[in-house]
């Protein structure tokens, strides 16, 4: 009986062994918890133990993708134009010189065109030449087109010949967000005879290309420009036997007046001539 009673007292009379084992188990559990916290949560680990590349790499990759898309497109919206500087739209209702009448040899016509950047970012603009399907090489060889701006008023005229397609009419110019650029267009005809380029027409236009200023320069050839086509000289239906595009039409009023005078003269001569049937 004594042995059975005294065995627990001899083994651990104060209970320290149980407390020691409990402390050991608690320490082991805490160590395991600290070891697994970075794996489970990702945020509880010390700064030195966190992955260093996940978030920065994602941010850099996103920036590269966005920059590449902006550089490839270069688009800033549709350019707007106006023939009076007040009403702007993405095109003109008619040709720029349609209301100016006929272009005569050794003559010229001048009109103004306002170009607006409707976007909220700076852009660059380039103006180049285009020939329409209704143009004929014979008349184009005797025409010139000049586009001048306040920034570069001394731009020389460009001959509107067959090899001048896509010719750059004015140097590339900067256009701030919402800003407007005024361009003066002068079309002229060389001093040719009235029989030169008869029954031929001119169908000329310009392409206005607007590009993001930070998207890089325009391509080498203006034929690759994607912009707004503005008609400068359009083909209008000509009357039969007229001379379209040269400023030489048939003098219909003079012909009618001459016919009336001839008819009136014949009547007067007939009245003044004595009637031979009278005695």
Condensed to tens digits (0 to 9), the pLDDT of residues 214-262 reads 888 899 999 999 899 998 876 433 333 333 344 444 455 666 777 777 7
What CATH number does the domain containing 222 carry? 2.60.40
111 within domain boundaries: yes
Q: Is residue 259 part of a domain?
A: no
CA distance 111 to 84: 10
The pLDDT assigned to 131 comes to: 77
Range of the domain at 181: 80-233
Q: Is the pLDDT of residue 38 over 60?
A: no
Question: For residue 258, is it within any domain?
Answer: no
Compute the distance between CA of residue 216 and CA of residue 67 in angstroms, rounded to an integer. 12
Average pLDDT over residues 68-80: 54
Q: What is the C-alpha separation between 249 and 234, in angstroms, rounded? A: 17
Domain count for the chain: 1
Q: How far apart are CA 69 and CA 236, in angstroms?
A: 43
What pLDDT sits at residue 47? 40
Among the ranges given (30-39, 44-53, 129-138, 145-154), the one the predictor scored with the smallest mean pLDDT: 44-53
Instruction: For residues 12 and 126, give the distance between their C-alpha atoms in angstroms, rounded to a whole number.
Output: 97
Q: Is residue 55 part of a domain?
A: no
Kindly state whether residue 39 falls inside one of the protein's structural domains.
Answer: no
Angle ∠(270,272,276) on CA atoms, nearest 5: 75
- Model pTM? 0.56
User: Of the ranges 97-101, 196-200, 252-256, which is most confident?
Assistant: 97-101
DSSP state of 260: H
Residue at 61 is within a domain:
no
Distance CA(222)–CA(205), nearest Å, equals: 14
Taking only the tens place, the pLDDT of each residue in 122-131 is 999 999 998 7
Confidence of residue 36 (pLDDT cuts 50, 70, 90): very low
% the chain with pLDDT above 70:
53
The tens digit of pLDDT for each residue in 173-189 reads 999 999 999 999 999 98
Contact in structure between 140 and 131 (CB atoms under 8 Å):
yes
**How far is it, in rounded angstroms, from Cα 176 to Cα 8?**
94
* pLDDT score, position 273: 59
Name the least confident of 45-49, 212-216, 264-268. Answer: 45-49
**Would the pLDDT of 89 be above 60?**
yes
Residues in the chain: 279
| Contact (Cβ atoms closer than 8 angstroms) between residue 157 and residue 146 | yes
Query: Which tokens hold the place of 129?
Result: 């030449």
What pLDDT does 254 receive? 64
Residue 137 lies in a domain: yes
10-33 residues labelled b (16+ CB within 10 A) or e (exposed): eeeeeeeeeeeeeeeeeeeeeeee
Burial level of 144, CB count in 10 A (0-12/13-18/19+)? middle
What are 185's two structure tokens? 């267009």
Per the prediction, the chain carries an average pLDDT of: 69
Does residue 240 lie in a domain region? no
132: exposed, middle or buried (C-beta count within 10 Å: 0-12, 13-18, 19+)?
Answer: middle
Q: How far is CA 188 from the centre of its chain?
A: 27
User: How many whole angstroms separate alpha carbon 243 and alpha carbon 124?
Assistant: 41
């Amino acid at each position: 009986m004594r042995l059975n009673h005294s065995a627990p007292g001899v083994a651990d009379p104060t209970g320290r062994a149980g407390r020691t084992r409990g402390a050991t188990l608690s320490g082991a559990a805490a160590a395991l918890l600290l070891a697994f916290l970075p794996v489970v949560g990702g945020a509880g680990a010390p700064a030195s133990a966190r992955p260093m590349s996940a978030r920065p790499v994602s941010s850099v990759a996103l920036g590269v993708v966005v920059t590449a898309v902006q550089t490839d497109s270069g688009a800033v919206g549709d350019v707007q134009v106006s023939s009076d500087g007040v009403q702007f739209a993405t095109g003109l209702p008619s040709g720029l010189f349609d209301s100016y009448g006929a272009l005569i040899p050794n003559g010229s016509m001048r009109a103004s065109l306002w170009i607006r950047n409707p976007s909220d970012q700076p852009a660059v603009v380039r103006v180049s030449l285009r020939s329409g399907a209704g143009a004929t090489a014979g008349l184009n060889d005797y025409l010139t087109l000049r586009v001048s701006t306040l920034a570069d008023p001394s731009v020389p005229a460009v001959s509107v010949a067959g090899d001048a397609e896509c010719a750059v009419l004015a140097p590339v110019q900067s256009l701030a967000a919402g800003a407007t650029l005024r361009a003066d267009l002068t079309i002229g005809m060389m001093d040719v005879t009235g029989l030169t380029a008869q029954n031929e027409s001119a169908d000329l236009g310009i392409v206005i290309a607007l590009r993001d200023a930070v998207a890089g320069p325009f391509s080498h050839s203006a034929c690759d420009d994607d912009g707004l086509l503005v008609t400068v000289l359009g083909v209008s239906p000509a009357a039969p036997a007229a001379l379209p595009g040269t400023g030489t039409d048939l003098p219909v009023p003079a012909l009618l007046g001459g016919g009336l005078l001839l008819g009136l003269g014949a009547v007067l001569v007939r009245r003044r001539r004595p009637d031979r049937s009278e005695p």
